């Protein structure tokens, strides 16, 4: 079974569309027999996403640090809950278990997790596709920052294309599974010497 790692908020956000997108993503994963790997939480978009996959009889693997379990934030009904020592261990395990990565709306943690796997793809550490579910234009400012960095020669054109963006789960999943991440090195200045 292929598994998709989804990063998303531990809050539901200001717009009802965010919660709807988390549920729709979960339903879509279950319908396509794709397992979910996520941060193991029972609240916010994370909880809604996991519950939707479980309601569709899908596989849900939660990876959560003991410190968050201690705060009673762990989803106890997932298929498998892996409790780890640190956030670093959590991210490494999630990346290892996944075949692709998607970010739904979220805050610092979501952005940091997505940027880390995106950087790993840029560096060639993995060749797994990375996508954004751009619900209601939530990621438009982030995408503008990527374009700004590319115009200023901090991101190669090939690496800018590492970020697949759609507004609905179905087309995003199709794009991710059709993607072939480039095997181009990151360092622009190396080409100029």
Is 159 within the bounds of a domain?
A: yes
CATH code for the domain of 126: 3.40.50.450
Below-70 pLDDT ranges, the chain: 181-193
pTM of the predicted structure, to 2 decimals? 0.93
- Decide: residue 176, CB within 10 A, 0-12 exposed, 13-18 middle, 19+ buried: buried
Is 188 within the bounds of a domain?
A: no
Is 190 within the bounds of a domain?
A: no
Q: What is the pLDDT of residue 180?
A: 78
Angle made by CA atoms 115, 119, 120, in degrees to the nearest 5: 120
Alpha carbon separation from 23 to 1, 75, 80, 154 (Å, rounded): 21, 16, 20, 36
- Decide: residue 186, CB within 10 A, 0-12 exposed, 13-18 middle, 19+ buried: middle
Name the domain count of the chain: 1
Q: What is the pLDDT of residue 193?
A: 47
What is the average pLDDT score of the chain? 94
Is 191 within the bounds of a domain?
A: no
Is 10 within the bounds of a domain?
A: yes
Q: Give the range of the structural domain holding residue 64, as residue numbers without chain letter.
A: 3-181
Is 192 within the bounds of a domain?
A: no
Is 193 within the bounds of a domain?
A: no
Is 165 within the bounds of a domain?
A: yes
Answer yes or no: are the C-beta atoms of 164 and 129 closer than 8 Å: yes
Q: What is the pLDDT of residue 31?
A: 98
């Amino acid at each position: 079974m292929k598994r998709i790692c989804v990063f998303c908020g531990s809050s539901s956000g200001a717009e009802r569309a965010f919660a709807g997108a988390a549920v729709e993503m979960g339903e879509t994963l279950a319908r396509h027999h794709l397992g979910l790997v996520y941060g193991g939480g029972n609240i916010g978009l994370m909880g809604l996403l996991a519950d939707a996959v479980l309601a569709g009889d899908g596989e849900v693997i939660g990876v959560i640090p003991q410190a968050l379990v201690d705060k009673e934030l762990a989803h106890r009904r997932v298929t498998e809950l892996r409790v780890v020592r640190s956030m670093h261990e959590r991210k490494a395990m999630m990346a290892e278990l996944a075949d692709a990565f998607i970010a739904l709306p979220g805050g610092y943690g979501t952005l940091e997790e997505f940027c880390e796997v995106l950087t790993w793809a840029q560096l060639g550490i993995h060749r797994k596709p990375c996508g954004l579910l751009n619900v209601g234009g939530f990621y438009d400012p982030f995408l503008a920052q990527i374009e700004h960095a590319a115009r200023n020669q901090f991101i190669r054109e090939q690496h800018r294309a590492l970020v697949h963006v759609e507004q609905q789960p179905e087309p995003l999943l199709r794009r991710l599974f059709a993607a072939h991440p480039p095997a181009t090195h990151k360092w622009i200045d190396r080409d100029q010497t």
